Amino acid sequence: MTMSSASPPTSGPSAPLHVLGALALELKGDAAVSRSALPRHDAGALSEKIARDLAGFAAETAALDLVTVGAHYDPVELLRPGWPLHRELDELSANAPRERGAGDAGRVIAFGAHEQQLPGALAPSPDYAGGPLRLVPFVLSGDPDRVARVGELLESSLLERGMAGADTALAAQEAFGLQVEHARYLTVHDLAAMMAMQYDHAGLGPLWPLLETALLQPDGEEWLDAPPEPLIHYSEGEARIALFSPNAWHQRYAPEAPCGTEECREKLNRRYQHFEARLKQIAAVLGAHGVPVTFVHCDGEPEPGQL
């Protein structure tokens, strides 16, 4: 699936483009969340409000199919190579009927839970519940030229003026049983830019170029080679992380003269333990974003092609 109007179709000249985005719900404090998924009726009611809001930003949206789900997710569940959550929405909607006489109007397709089960692979992961930002994803599809125009408008406007309608925010709050501080619309590009800033503030800025490549150019290549950070090579859809032995780590990250005192050795050991903790943290972040991780044992500087 293509991510926005700027990208070409992926499956032939007749394949429609897609605009991928989300209703972003910024929650108040540590308030409890009652429900992660809605029954079909409630999901449909919320989707109608989302469709109306989006048409207010770009009128031609009303002529496109809007596909969404009555569920909310953590950003890491949306920001994954290949956009699997959005792709799942698009694939599940393929069999939705189109009413006769609908003319130029787009469909509004909302997936909800039946007996507390969402269809396909739409169930939010409990591993990422509890975050302050929850996302209700949507896909817009239809005529490629129209999608292109809508995509350009949304990409240029949502980040600045994409606030959801007050009744939409209230509907989401009541349906999910949570407390909303702000509700706004984002494209996946907007979401990626927001996460880049958050990761930078959290000390994970050096990792973002590699993550961005995995998201926007999954067939591309990127290195993280900036000591004291771990050495990582993203290529062929996976991140290969150098797992240095203590001696190899010493040669690469602490090449100063050998320590002759116990105090110095303890200091180096603490640095090595910090490096190991950082390596595990980065591997966990990559895994959360759906980037496969392979550890490559290195007893010295990696040979060409080893990573």
**The pTM is what?**
0.90
Closest CA to 4 of 272, 16, 252: 16
SS3 268: helix
Spatial contact of 307 and 296, defined as CB atoms under 8 Å apart: yes
Which pLDDT tens digits describe the chain residue by residue (307 residues)? 444 433 433 334 444 489 999 999 999 987 788 899 999 999 999 999 999 999 999 999 999 999 999 999 999 999 999 999 999 999 999 887 766 545 567 999 999 999 889 999 999 999 999 899 999 999 999 999 999 999 999 999 998 999 999 999 999 999 999 999 999 999 999 999 999 999 999 999 999 999 999 999 999 999 999 999 999 999 999 999 999 998 899 889 888 766 778 888 888 888 999 999 999 999 999 999 999 999 999 988 888 788 8
Report helix angle 246-253 to 262-288, nearest 10.
100
Domain ranges of the chain: 18-202, 214-298
